[in-house]
Structure 1
């Protein structure tokens, strides 16, 4: 891949993209959610583990189930967003490795052995976080705005939405068409010299 992405696209994905807290009434369609996933799934994960699992909360009833577990500052914006995505990670992602990483059967064994549970949990969390970043970029690519959030009772969300599964919640992300009129002023970022070293 040697093609440089135009500045206009870099602006959309990074420089002018913002975290939104207020939303217009424009809906998000199921087709858009499918398109989002079909883009994000191509992002690389270690051993192609692909541990991210997503529940899209679109209906008022689904949002009501989430509401008790949100911190007070996240309630209004999440209830107003057309969609809130619960981004989870499957701690038993290794069950799919015989298909996703078929050329290396040993990888399934490495992650499935009980004595490696801490390594497996870490891999699931790290790689679902990577996939969560791809999720945000994919959403921006198809014209959606994002409001990723911490600030929730993870154990409560796990019980409410992932009970009986091997999935745990990583973070939440509101989706829709943001209202730019109520954006906060953009906060600064660290300069290269503050965050990076070249050795």
Structure 2
């Protein structure tokens, strides 16, 4: 049996972690962004399909390209964040399945089936994006996941080949606790789950 993680780990990953809206003037090191991706990629996806694609927006030029797509309420906090991850999903993920899932001819499950491709890419890309948030938190970074952007503009600007679709954005850095909103409540076990 594996040991339970220490309570400090649960606090950092879940219980005390917050969605940040303000950022300290401190960079999010490239090495930590790369390490988070290397950690997150090991989370499970169906048939190891691994559709997550990420663009880390850091430079002033890249931020200027992202700005027109942002909802007004997301503009200032995104421009101030040391990095913003555009989390997308590859709708041609199945082309890599012969390498990623050699146990079966998984590519044939998807080729020519656009509905299954979209559903699988979106679901598993979202799963991988959640793993990335947890990996970033585990490495001591704070995150601010958000929607509130024009996906068509982002896709045109950052995924122009049309093979990747944006899902959501995550601001990344070292959060300013003074800028946090009061923490919202969560549903009880009985409201969200049952054991049968």
In the superposition, the TM-score normalised over structure 1's length comes to 0.97
Tell me how far apart the structure 2 counterparts of residues 176 and 29 of structure 1 sit (CA, whole Å). 9
Give the CA deviation at 1:33. Answer: 1.1
Within the candidate set 168, 172, 176, 1:171 is matched to 168
- Mean alpha-carbon deviation: is it higher for 141-150 or for 29-38? 29-38
What is the root-mean-square deviation in Å for CA atoms of aligned residues?
A: 0.8
**What is the match of residue 110 of structure 2?**
111
1:28 and 2:28 correspond: yes
Match in the other structure for 1:44: 44
Unpaired runs of at least 5, structure 2: none
| Unaligned residue ranges in structure 1 (runs of 5+) | none
CA distance in 1, matches of 2:109, 2:75: 41
CA deviation map 1:130-183 (0-9, x unaligned) = 001001000001110000010000011000100114100010000000000121
Deviation larger for 157-166 or 66-75: 157-166
| Residues 98-134 of structure 1 deviation map (CA, whole Å, 9 limit, x = unaligned) | 00001111x111111x2x1101110000000000100
Aligned to 1:9: 9
Count of residue pairs brought into register by the alignment: 196
- State the SS of the aligned residue for 1:184: coil
2: distance between equivalents of 1:171 and 1:95?
23
Alignment of 1:124-143 (within 5 A): 124-143=121-140
